[in-house]
Amino acid sequence: MTEILRVENLKKSYNGFLAVNGVSFSVQKGELKALIGPNGAGKSTCFNMLMGQLKPTAGEVFLDGERITGMAPRKVWRRGVGRTFQITGTYQSMSVVENVQMALISHHHRTFAILPRAWRLYRDEAMGFLDTVGMTDQADRPCSVLAYGDLKKLELAIALAHRPRLLLMDEPTAGMAPSARIDLMQLTADIVRDQGVSVLFTEHDMDVVFAHAHHIMVLNRGELIADGNAEQVRNNPHVQEVYLGGGTLFKEASHA
Ligand code: ADP
Ligand code: MG
């Protein structure tokens, strides 16, 4: 396997408080990797530094060998780091397939001046992405009527339309029912397998994490305390101390 993302000694200080304190890790091509940790551990801060929303206080980020540390979000995005955006009010009235078509137009740098032509041009391609997420039967429904889980799948289709090499998903299943969570992560795992895209995600539901992630990293108080497969992370004494002590994250523990 080859590395798509490498993070070296990343730090973010807020007025002297180190929200992220010297984090180093890598994500391989075609890997589905989870970043977990208690609330306030620094997961979102990490993600925001990877995507360019936040400038690191120290450290380096490399995408496929290229240094992207501190680069503006749009530049990072253009280099193939995707993220799932929540569909905003503006696009709610558009149909499902139109939302994906919009993403394709944006991806291919088309402008609205040639909209009618671009519209026709990208319908088939957009339907392909809807097929990937299992939503072709909903193509012509307005987004405003979609169930929450379907909206999340559409957001995934839109992210894929930009053909990311690395997809960052910060709590993609937040607010979803457990079965829909499993569904969305299964779908994500299938996409990783079939399309060779790499995914880094955060998630609260440990069943989802341990069922789907190839590797799991644990962040605690801004520091990475584990990075390995499910077995290694489960058996890591420091992780057990952080999570099992609270008894909240591992089902086995809360039932014990
Ligand atoms: P997580 O996503 O793991 O829940 P965050 O990355 O959101 O954690 O936050 C990590 C820590 O940094 C928390 O203690 C949070 O209060 C603090 N923090 C996050 N953003 C800011 C900010 N803009 N200013 C000051 N502190 C912040
Ligand atoms: Mg967060």
Token pair recorded at residue 53: 């929303």
Per-residue pLDDT band at 174 (split at 50, 70, 90): confident
Q: CA 36 → CA 33, 75, 98, 182, distances in Å? A: 10, 27, 34, 16
User: pLDDT-derived band of residue 68, with 50, 70 and 90 as boundaries?
Assistant: very high
Query: Where does residue 97 rank: exposed (0-12), middle (13-18), buried (19+ CB within 10 A)?
Result: buried
Sign of torsion over alpha carbons 148, 150, 154, 155:
positive
Residue range 72-104, pLDDT digits in tens? 999 999 999 999 876 666 678 899 999 999 888
Q: Could you give the percent of the chain with pLDDT greater than 90?
A: 72
Residue 19 Cβ inside 6 Å of ligand 1? The answer reads yes
C-beta of 40 in contact with ligand 1 (< 6 A): yes
Q: For residue 192, is pLDDT > 90?
A: yes
Instruction: Please state the rounded mean pLDDT for residues 180-192.
Output: 94
CA of 40 to the centre of ligand 1 (A): 5
Q: For the chain, give the percent of residues with pLDDT over 70.
A: 89
What is the average per-residue pLDDT within 193-218?
93
Centre of ligand 2 from the C-alpha of residue 143, in Å? 26
Residue nearest to atom 27 of ligand 1 (CA): 14
pLDDT tier at 160 (50, 70, 90 boundaries)?
very high
Query: Which ligand does the CA of 43 lie closest to?
Result: 1
One-letter amino acid for residue 31 of the chain = E
Cβ-based neighbour number of residue 150 at 10 Å = 18
108 or 110: which carries more pLDDT confidence? 108
Tokens of 8: 């070296």
Q: What's the pLDDT at 89?
A: 61
Ligand 1 and 42: CB distance under 6 A: yes
Pocket residue to mutate for ligand 1, from 44, 49, 169, most atoms within 8 A of Cβ:
44
Chain-centre distance for alpha carbon 30: 14
Q: Which residue's CA is the closest to the ligand 1 atom numbered 22?
A: 14
Residue type, 11: K
Q: How far is the CA of 231 from the centre of ligand 1 (A)?
A: 29
Residue 104 φ/ψ region, left for φ over 0, alpha for ψ in the -120 to 50 degree band, beta for the rest? alpha
How far is 191 from 157, CA to CA, in rounded Å? 10
For residue 5, which of 212, 140, 200 has the smallest C-alpha distance?
Answer: 200
Distance 19 CA to ligand 1 centre (A): 6
Q: How would you classify the pairing of strands 3-14 and 58-63?
A: antiparallel
Of the candidates 227, 240, 237, 234, the residue with the CA atom closest to the CA atom of residue 35:
227
Buried b (16+ CB within 10 A) or exposed e, 42-79: bbbbbbbbbbbebebeebebbbeeeebbebeeeebbeb
Q: How far is the CA of 36 from the centre of ligand 2 (A)?
A: 10
pLDDT in tens, 16-56: 999 999 999 999 999 999 999 999 999 999 999 999 999 99
